[in-house]
Amino acid sequence: MTAYLVQVFTLILIYIIVAASLNLAIGFTGLLSLGHVALFGIGAYTSAILTKDVGVPFMPAFFMAGLLSSLSRLFLTVVTQKLRGDYFAFVTLGFNFLVVALAQNWISLTRGSLGIPGIPRPVIFGLTIKSGGPFLLLTTVVTIGSLFFLYRLTRSRYGRLLEAVRDDSVGASALGKDVYRLKYQCFVVSAFFTGLAGSLFAHFIQFIDPTSFYLSDIIIVLTIVITGGLASLTGSILGGFIILAIPEILRFLPITPEAVGPLRQMIYSVILILILLFRPRGILGKVDID
């Protein structure tokens, strides 16, 4: 039972990193960026390939995961810089399909749909991080670090400037602020932490394949962000615990294992729709997007 709880907790923390960085991208720019599952996947694959096939130690691989994810996001931002609203959302959503297709077909690198098994355990300063408690500790450290960075960022003048750009970019540029550069930075930072989370995920599960990064995962993260409230980091943390804990109850109900996935997806969708209908700002949200 303890082992099980440690597992669930680790996974929740990993998702909280992704949700908090997605919240930075959506809540502080007002653009519905849906490419985060792909970025998460890029981080996971980078770290897995580097440590397993290339033999790079965990620490550099971990940061490379963040970096490569940032670079991909930078590319996506350059391509989409003129788009807004629905179109931005769709193109970033499409990015997921592109990345999954790559993971499935670039067989020499990713082994395609066979996936990458046996991803080594992280080794930090000669210490192997075993699964269970030690891994939870590592995840906790990374989560706190990421959240601290994001907290400082959003609470600083920089964060307030981001909010200003979100609410009126014309007014902000009249004050001499480079609104494009701000959006770029915001997305890149967001992608960096998502990539780190991806790396943690790969070393936690120790096996990844393209199906781990499918569309339905974006709904989980989006539900966390919207339930917690846009532009509220505390909201995303709270949302993460609530949203990810609910479906765990399913494990104790008499249902077949195959039904768990779809049922979970249905629960997320229902929560998402109910929140949008009855509490559009989420639990702790302060802003509306339109």
Partner 1 sequence: MDGLIAGAIYSLTASGMSLVYATNRFWHLAHGAVLLSAAYALYGLYSLLGLNFYLSSILTVITAMVLGLAMYIFLYRPLRRRRAGNLIMLIASAGVLLFFEGFAQILFGSDVKTLEFIEVQAGINVGGVLVTPLQLIIIACSVVLLLVFWIFIKLSPTGKKLRAVADNVELARLTGINTDRFQALSFVIASAIAGCAAILIALERNVEPRMGVNFALVSFTSSVVGGIGSMPGSILGSYLIGFAENVTLWVIPSGYKEAIPFVVLFLFLVFRQNGILGVEKGMRE
Partner 2 sequence: MLKVENITKSFGGVQAIRGSNFVVEKNKVTALIGPNGAGKTTLFDIIAGFVEPDMGRVLLNGDDVTQLLPHERADRGMSRTFQHARLFRYLTILDHLMMATDNADTKLWQNIWRRERVHCDEYDAILEQFGIKRTLDTPVSDLSYGQRKLLQIAMALRRGHQLLMLDEPVAGVNKVIQEKIEQLLLDLKARGETVLLIDHDMNFVRRLSDRVICLDAGMVVAAGTPNEVLSDPKVMEAYLGK
Which residues have C-beta within 8 Å of that of residue 213, sequence separation ≥ 6? 37, 38, 40, 41, 44, 96, 99, 100, 103
Judge whether 282 and 230 are in contact, CB under 8 Å.
yes
Q: Which residues bind partner 1 (CB under 8 A)?
A: 32, 79-80, 82-87, 89-91, 93-95, 97-98, 100-102, 104-105, 112, 215-216, 219, 222, 226, 258-259, 261-266, 268-270, 272-273, 276-277, 280, 288-290
Judge whether 186 and 25 are in contact, CB under 8 Å.
yes
- Picking from 13, 32, 15, 16, the residue whose alpha carbon sits closest to that of residue 187 is 32
Among residues 133 and 261, whose Cβ is nearest to partner 1?
261
Judge whether 271 and 243 are in contact, CB under 8 Å.
yes
- Picking from 98, 96, 125, 119, the residue whose alpha carbon sits closest to that of residue 46 is 119
Q: Which residues bind partner 2 (CB under 8 A)?
A: 149, 152-153, 156-161, 163-164, 167-168, 170-179, 181-182, 185, 189, 286-287
Say which entry of partner 1, partner 2, none residue 168 contacts (CB below 5 to 8 A, set by partner kind).
Answer: partner 2
Say which entry of partner 2, partner 1, none residue 290 contacts (CB below 5 to 8 A, set by partner kind).
Answer: partner 1
CA angle 140, 285, 178 (to 5 degrees): 85
Say which entry of partner 1, partner 2, none residue 1 contacts (CB below 5 to 8 A, set by partner kind).
Answer: none
Say which entry of partner 2, partner 1, none residue 160 contacts (CB below 5 to 8 A, set by partner kind).
Answer: partner 2
Among residues 9 and 90, whose Cβ is nearest to partner 1?
90
- Least Å distance between CB 279 and partner 1? 11
